[in-house]
Amino acid sequence: MAILMRRGRTSVNAYIASDYAGLEAGVYEFYFGYERTICPVHGNDSKCECNDKQWAFVARKNGQEVGRLSARQVHYHGGECVEALLRGIARFGDKFWKE
């Protein structure tokens, strides 16, 4: 399912599937799902040899990554990816909207 809303010069694009979910709003992009992973031991963006990589929530501003959380950190234990996406957005909300 994809939703596209345009208001003036600002557009919002939300997309949801069984194994990922995302939201693009102005200069912000949020994603949770299988295409982005993180090592919960090393905290990196999949650049290690560990076999315990988890799906990740990723936040970007102006195309630059500003945060990444593991599935565990957004309390994802299977189920709806959109729930993990919303939890990730909430965790970063204070940082983004206070600027």
Please state whether the predicted TM-score (pTM) of the whole model is above 0.95: no
39-67 tens-digit pLDDT:
877 776 656 777 778 899 999 999 999 98
Question: What is the CB-side half-sphere exposure of residue 18 using CA atoms within 13 A?
Answer: 0
Nearest-5° Cα angle at 34, 91 to 88: 5
1-49 tens-digit pLDDT:
555 444 455 688 999 999 999 999 989 999 999 999 888 777 766 567 7
